[in-house]
Each structure stands twice: as C-alpha cells, then as structure tokens.
Amino acid sequence: MYDHSPHAVFVQLDELLATEDGDTEWKETARWIKYEEDVEEGSARWGRPHVASLSFHSLLNLRRCLETGVVLLDLDEKDLPGVAYRVVEAMVTDGLIEEDDKPVVMRSLLLRHRHVHDDRFRFSISGKKQASYSSLQNLSERRRRSSHALPADKAEARKKMSVAGLEAGLREVEYAARVTDSQDELRRPHNDSIMKRIPEDAEATTVLVGAVGFLEQPTIAFVRLAQGILMPSITEVPVPVRFMFILLGPAGADLDYHEVGRSISTLMSNPTFHSIAYKADDRRELLSAINEFLDDSIVLPPGDWERQALLPFEELRAKSEMIRRRKRDALERKRAADGAAPPSDEKKALLAAEMGGLPPDEPEDPLTRTGRLFGGVVRDMRRRYPYYLSDFTDALNGQCVAAVIFMYFAAVSSAITFGGLLAEKTHGKIGISETLLFSSAGGVVFALVAGQPMMITGATGPLLLLDESLSNFCRSYGFDFLAARMYCGLWMIVIALAVASVEGSVAVKKISRFTEDIFAFLISLIFISEPITSTIGVYRAHPLGVDYCQFNSSNNTNVTQPLAPLNSTSADNSSISAQPPLASPAPLTVVPQPNTALFCTMLTLATFIIAYYLRIFRNGKFLGRSARRALGDFGVPIAIVLMVAVSCVVPVWTETLRVPAGLSPTTPRAWLVAYNPGLETIPLWAALAMALPALMVYIIVFMETHIAELIIDKPERKLKKGSGFHMDIVIMSAVNAICGMFGAPWQCVATVRSVSHVSALTIMSTTHAPGDKPHIVEVKEQRLTGLLVAILVGLSVLASSWLRLVPMAVLFGVFLYMGISALGGIQLWDRCILLLKPVKHHPQVPYVRRVPTLKMHLYTLIQVAGLCVLYAVKSSRFSLALPFFLVLMVPLRMSLAYVFTPLQLRAVRIAWFDDIHGIIRASRGRTNIPFL
C-alpha cells in the first residue's frame, strides 16, 4: 500500500521557453509554498508573496484538460526518464499525440530546467556550455540520508531504456546522472534559504506547461507518483516530487498555458484540493475537487480598479470565513444525519482553534468560580507553583538576557518619569528615590511569588492621579498625606482578601470597551494637559523679557535662602544641579532666568518628537528590521539621553530632578511613616474613612492588573504554566500595604510594559511560508527576567548624581509622547475624528459598516459626555471619587441596550481584552498606551 496521507506541498511552475542562444529549456516562473511568488523578469529574483488571482476562464480550461487528458495515479517509477516514458506512452494510447510525436515530446520533457539562481552556474570552469538535456540531471547528495535518495556510493548511475517507435526503429536514450560536489556546494545557500520555509515532510508538485511547434492539439497529463522521488535538476529545492502536471500544445491554440499552469499550481497549494489529490482513486474525484474549489471561491466582476479602496478586503475576508463556516456546519449536519462517530480530538482541536476557542485538552478557565472560600487563589497556587524550579532554569538562554536589557531601560525611564511628576504633585512627599526603591522591591516580591511573574509592576498614570487627588484632599483637611496613605494601604489588603475569598476576580469579564475607552482617553488627556500646564508655569516663573538685568535687580529681595546657590551660578548662565527640596516653581521666590522658558519648551517638544518619530521609524522601511526595532524600542531612553546632553551643553538654567543622595527619602523623614510626627493628625474616624480612598485605589489596581493578565493569557501565546488572576491581585495589594507603610508610591501591573516583556520573551517562527504571518512558537515562561529587571531598577538609585541632570522639561516631553501616541489606540478618539469627516471618507471598519452614522455619532457623544463628567470630577475637590464614577460607566453602558440593537453594540463594544491585544500587538515593544 502506498502512502496517501496528505503532506505539506511545494509547487513549482516551469514554462518551456527559448533561451538567448536559440535553445529551448524549462524556466522556473513561479512557485507556491502557501502563496504565489513570481519571478520578476530582468532582475532574476522572486517577487513578493501574494494571493493568486485566477481567471474563471483558466479554471474552466483546466477542468477540460483534466477531463480529456491522461491521469496516472500511483505511478510506480523511480526517475524522470521513466516517468516521461510512461506519460508519453499513455498519451499515445489515449490518442492525444501521434506515434511520430513520441520522440520530440520525450525530448521536450527531458530538457534542462533553469531556476532563478542558476544563471551564475551556467558555464563550467573550462568555459564550455553545459548540455541542455537530461544527461546532466544532478542527483544531489545533500538529501542522501532521505529514504528517497540514491545510494551515496554511486557517484555515477547510468540507465538505458528502450523506447519503441522512435523514427525508424529502436533508439537508445542514455540517461546519465552525475553528482558534482562542487556545484552542490555552490547551490547550497540558495536551497537552504528556502528550505527553512518548507516543512520537513513536504513533497513537490512540478507543473510543466509550454507551447511547441510540433503538436496540433494540446496534450495533458496529471501524474501522482506512488512515492516521492528526488529530482534535483527539476525542482529548485531537494524535495521529493510526488505530483506532475504536463501541458504541451500548439502556440495558436485557444489556451493560455501560463494561466492554466497557475491554476493547477494554486489548486495544488490549496489544502482541501491537494488532500483530495492525495486520496483520489480516479479522474472523477479530481474534477469534483475542482468544483469544490470553485464553491469556496469569490468571483470579482470585470472592471477597471484604479484604487485599492475599491477592493473591500474586510468584506472579502468575512465572506471567505462565512463560506468556511457554512461548509463546516454542513459537514457536521451530514455526519450527524449519517450517525457517524463524532470528530476525533485532533479535529476538535483544529476546529476550536479555527473558531478562536480552546482545544479540548486545555486546562479549565481560571475565571470560573470554584464555589469554595479562596478557591480561586488555591487553584492558582496549585497550578503555578509546581513549575517553580523550571521558572529559573528556563531563563538560562540568550533570549532572556536580551529581554532584561530591553525591559530595564523601559522600566527605569518610566520610574524616573513618574517619580519626577510625583515629587511635583505631592509637594515633595514622594519622589524619585521612593519610586525607584519600591518599584524594585515590589517587582522582586511579585517576580518571586506571583502566579504570572512575567508581568512588570511599577507606578502608573491612574495611580499617580489618585495620589495627586489624595494629596490635595489631605492638604484641604489638614491630614498628613503619608499617614493617610498608610491607612489606605492597610485597608487595601483587607479589601483584597475579602474580594479574593468570594472569587471576585471573575468580574473582570464584565469589563467592556465602552468604559475602558473613556478611561484611557481621560488618562491621555491628563498626560497631554500636564506638560502644557507645567510649561505655562515655567513661562510665569521665567517670563519673556527685554531687559533681564533690570528685572533681576528689582527682585533680589524676593530670593530665599535655599535658592542662594542658584543665584550664585545663574550669573554665569551655567546649567546647575543644586535645587531646592520642592519641585514646584514658586514665582515669588525664584529669580527669572533668561531663555529658560524657551529652552524648556524646546526640550519638551524635542523629547516628544524624537520619541514619537522613533516609534514611527520602527515600522518604516529604512535600515534593517533589527536596527529599526532597536531604535523604536529604545526611543524614550534615547530621547532622554539626547536632551540631557543638550541641557548640559547649552548654558541655560533649567529646573532638574530633585534626587537625594544615597538611600534617603525625598524629604527629610523616617522611612517608616509610623515613626513620623504626622500620624497623630489622623483621628480614628478618618483612619476608618480611609477605607473609601483605599477602595478607589483597589479598583484601579484591580482593573489594570486583570486587563494585563487577560492580554498575556491569550490562547495564541501558548502559555503552559498557568496564570494567577486571583492570587496576583492579593499579592499586589500586599505590596501596596508595604508601600503605604514606607511612604512609597502605589504599585500595580503596568500593562504595556508587561506586554512588551512577554513579547521580548516570545520566540516567533522563522520557518513559516513566505508571505504568511509569523506565529508564536513558545514563550519563555520564567521568573528570572522580571526579578533582574526589578533589581537593576533599584540599583539605579545609586546613580542619583546622574539623575539630577535630567531636566523636568524632558519628563514633560515623555508625558506628552505617552498621551499623544496613546490616542492612536483608542476607538473613541477615532470616532471623534469621524464627527468632522464626510461619510464618504469613513473607514471600512465594523462600527462604521454595521452601525448607522447618526447612531454611531450618538454612541460617541454619550462616551464624550461620560468623559466630560470624569474630567470634571478629576478637576474638582471630589477627585478621589473618580474610580467610583468610573464604575458608574458600567450601568450606563448596560442602559444603551434600550437605544442600540445587539448587532450595533457588538460592532462597537468588542471586549476590551480582545481588542487591546490587537492594539498592543500592532505596537509591540512600544510604550504608547497610557497604562504605563
């Protein structure tokens, strides 16, 4: 019995063409691994892979060819001359050619095959032209280990076969097979480059088409060999040939040989057709497979398509998916009607993967309730901790080393940025030293005990906003800010334990894009407005003036003692590093400096422009892929370093970061908040009332941590060690309780940094077909990279003398970059732009195509109204209640069911963790979403 199981296929189209010397040879013009690649005439190279577009007429011609041509299935021959002889004999038997045509047809089939990279090997060392017939068919020893290869000890194998009826009688056609080691070595680079893209068990299909002058009608043959045979001189790669399609005919025939060849090649590269071709028993099954291919095809009407926008790609993809689903449902109904056994586990897994679901052997959903007290936490621990040892051994590879370097710069730049802004918003209570130290401590704890240790923790924008609100609240009521935060941290762990006990983390499945879009837009607006407000403050403190000497002399009495070093150096117009303890500029006590406002504006805009355009450069077409990725991934650190260098060179005074020497807090105090005198300012009722701010902080930590974990735990990442939806939020709350005791900033999982970390640990396929999207091979699941990144961030506090050189204006540029670049990933922003565009310029996206324009705008305006409410709350004295108002967006979204149909809501509401994954995947390795 022969092997009829389908194999991966490599298809090569050769056309019979005349050479410059007047000879005739088979020239490779196209190939298929999954998509079509054509040889670009003149440049002798392969064009871009593309989906083959076939004419309906060529498919009908192909069908007629198979109806009238020779079909040989399971032909038991071992070499090309044997196959050619059997084919020619069958053509004579079926009356496709005359007896006298046998020699010339045979000779045509045995002509030389020239491939794309063969021109350089056209002449031998002696300068003599090589023969153009099959006498130089090379049997490559590169695949001699294969079961299909000839014995290695036969360097020259000679065969003789008798061919009846050649002209006057018997003629002996000598077929020589010579193996040339030197030529094999020269061909090796070309073969290896494409061999990586072809699966190991692939078999080749050779399509031979061409016009000849000695035939009066087309002759066709479709051959399936009994087993794959290596024919290295025919195929450009040493892959066993299993199928051959031959079409020869007169030049004047009503037949486009090239298009018919493309049609059969495309059919053979189609998984459904080539599976049938492997198992077919007769011609009828092949013809039925063509009909099935036509049923699955989409026909485009004739016309002049001058714009790419005229081709509705999304609609074509949707129709193709609908056809596949219809066929799958019909097959299931037929199987059920026949009483057949249900599909095997393998087929179920393939079916589930195609539909975006989980294979049947996947572990249970971690976001299902167990019904037991702390059942989710216990389940997370039982699933994850058995891999604890491998979490360290799996990190011993170069991929993890590169991830540590990349993530350190991303984490430390974010920590410096948020630490500098925290020092300003909390009036110096919390600064860079606390941010660096406790980002490190929290990261170490999380990396060691978390259920999903690949997530990166640190300070984020929403938590910074809550700290600013709490600081303003405490100043209004005379409470000590750090003492209030200590009670908030203690309440957070209580709330986290209470939620975890009832498996409250399953509520994250209720998060919709409606709420998250509003919140993401709010954070982006804050990030954009903050640099503008701060720059305006710089202009007020250092206004533009004509005569600064007179202005400074009239204000010398306003200078306070802490700024004495500043005044002593500003006369020399030098950039200084000695700064007062507070970060906020005080116009009444700071002597205006010439050019400071303009220079700070330049630093802010330059930082933004460098970081933003390096992000765009990452997906550009200049330089190589590795160089672009390196520049794009390190865009923010590069911008900071360059602008710090400019600040040091240009003799203009700028306000820089306040970083204490060593491991000291930003303001003189004890590290433990309990040992500070401000604790008694919090009465008992206020300590109990801190449960409300703690709940607000917990909501933000809950949302960010779980959204990040949902993105990371997507099935396509093929994670094997599990996650920690229930236990990670408890660990994060415990870390925040410790941060509250030490007066450190709140910590939570940073979504973009976490996804970037996982992306850096992801190994993508390098053997996929040309034109195919790379797929994930594996993710290096381990704890060591997160642990090392956290340790390095903590050690950065020792570089305080360098951090003092960073101007605040540079950090404002980083925030501007974060805010503006994040808008590109927010659907609400896209729909706001559509309010100003005519309908004809709207993009072909689901929420445009499936929702009436007026209703789409109504949905947008409702979100904008919610955004305005949140921004008003943020700007008021009730800003601490912002998370509460954010939660109120959930019932608002639910009430929209009375205004919009389910289909309309489906088009605009896509689950946040499904859609944000696409956003971050498109910007992998870039910190361009506000959840930093």
Q: What is the pLDDT of residue 441?
A: 92
Structure tokens at 100: 């006298």
Please give the average per-residue pLDDT across 494-509, as a whole number: 89
Please give the average per-residue pLDDT across 401-427, as a whole number: 84
pLDDT tens profile 77-100: 888 889 999 999 999 988 888 888
* 188-192, 682-686, 699-703, 803-807: the lowest-pLDDT one: 188-192
- φ/ψ of 587, rounded to 5, equals -60, -25
User: What are the sequence ranges of the domains in the chain?
Assistant: 9-118+181-296, 379-571+691-766+775-806+813-922
pLDDT class of 316 with cuts at 50, 70, 90: confident
CA distance readout (Å), 629 to 406, 470, 622, 623, 632: 11, 40, 11, 10, 5
163 Rama class: left (phi>0) / alpha (psi -120 to 50) / beta = beta
Provide the sign of the torsion angle of the four alpha carbons 503, 506, 508, 510, taken in this order.
negative
Percent of the chain as helix, strand, coil, to the nearest 5? 55, 10, 35
Q: What is the pLDDT of residue 494?
A: 94
CA 656 to CA 593: how far, in whole Å? 14
pLDDT tens profile 526-570: 888 888 888 888 888 878 765 655 545 444 444 333 333 333 333
Q: Are 492 and 786 in contact (CB under 8 A)?
A: no
How would you label 294-330 residue by residue, b for 16+ Cβ within 10 Å and e otherwise?
eeeeeeeeeeeeeeeeeeeeeeeeeeeeeeeeeeeee
DSSP-assigned states of every residue in 480-513: -HHHHHHHHHHHHHHHHHHHHHTTGGGGGGG--H
Angle ∠(497,500,503) on CA atoms, nearest 5: 160
Percent of the chain with pLDDT over 90: 16
CA 702 to CA 666: how far, in whole Å? 28
Q: What is the pLDDT of residue 186?
A: 39
Please give the average per-residue pLDDT across 809-817, as a whole number: 86
pLDDT class of 118 with cuts at 50, 70, 90: low
Please give the average per-residue pLDDT across 133-155, as a whole number: 35
Percent of the chain with pLDDT over 70: 80
Please give the average per-residue pLDDT across 343-369, as a whole number: 53
Q: What is the pLDDT of residue 460?
A: 85
pLDDT class of 525 with cuts at 50, 70, 90: confident
Say yes or no to pLDDT of 147 above 50. Answer: no
Residue 364: strand, helix, or coil = coil
Q: Is 618 exposed, middle or buried (0-12, 13-18, 19+ CB in 10 A)?
A: buried
pTM score? 0.74
Say yes or no to pLDDT of 575 above 50. Answer: no
The rounded Cα 797 to chain-centroid distance in angstroms is 33
Among 803, 711, 705, 809, CA closest to 762 = 711
CA 22 to CA 108: how far, in whole Å? 15
Q: Are 58 and 290 in contact (CB under 8 A)?
A: no
Say yes or no to pLDDT of 48 above 90. Answer: no
* 166-170, 336-340, 779-783: the lowest-pLDDT one: 166-170
More confident residue, 898 or 316: 898
* 187-191, 399-403, 460-464: the lowest-pLDDT one: 187-191
Average pLDDT taken over every residue of the chain: 77
How would you label 344-374 residue by residue, b for 16+ Cβ within 10 Å and e otherwise?
eeeeebeeeeeeeeeeeeeeeebbeeeeeeb
Among 440, 439, 447, 444, CA closest to 422 = 439
* 119-123, 230-234, 865-869: the lowest-pLDDT one: 119-123
CA 425 to CA 584: how far, in whole Å? 8
- Please report how many Cα atoms fall inside a 13 Å half-sphere around the Cα of residue 172, on the Cβ side: 5
Longest dimension (CA), the chain: 122
CA 134 to CA 155: how far, in whole Å? 16
pLDDT tens profile 784-794: 999 999 999 98
Q: What is the pLDDT of residue 53?
A: 85
Q: What is the pLDDT of residue 477?
A: 82
Q: What is the pLDDT of residue 574?
A: 37
- Give me the residue label for tokens 């060849």: 261
pLDDT tens profile 51-84: 888 888 899 999 999 999 999 999 888 888 899 9
pLDDT tens profile 358-380: 444 445 677 788 888 888 899 98
More confident residue, 347 or 246: 246
More confident residue, 295 or 290: 290
pLDDT class of 735 with cuts at 50, 70, 90: very high
Q: What is the pLDDT of residue 327?
A: 75
Q: What is the pLDDT of residue 246?
A: 92
CA 877 to CA 873: how far, in whole Å? 8
Angle ∠(466,435,508) on CA atoms, nearest 5: 50
Say yes or no to pLDDT of 36 above 50. Answer: yes
Within 10 angstroms of residue 688's Cβ, the number of other Cβ atoms is: 11
CA 480 to CA 734: how far, in whole Å? 22
Note the CATH number of domain 9-118+181-296.
3.40.930.10
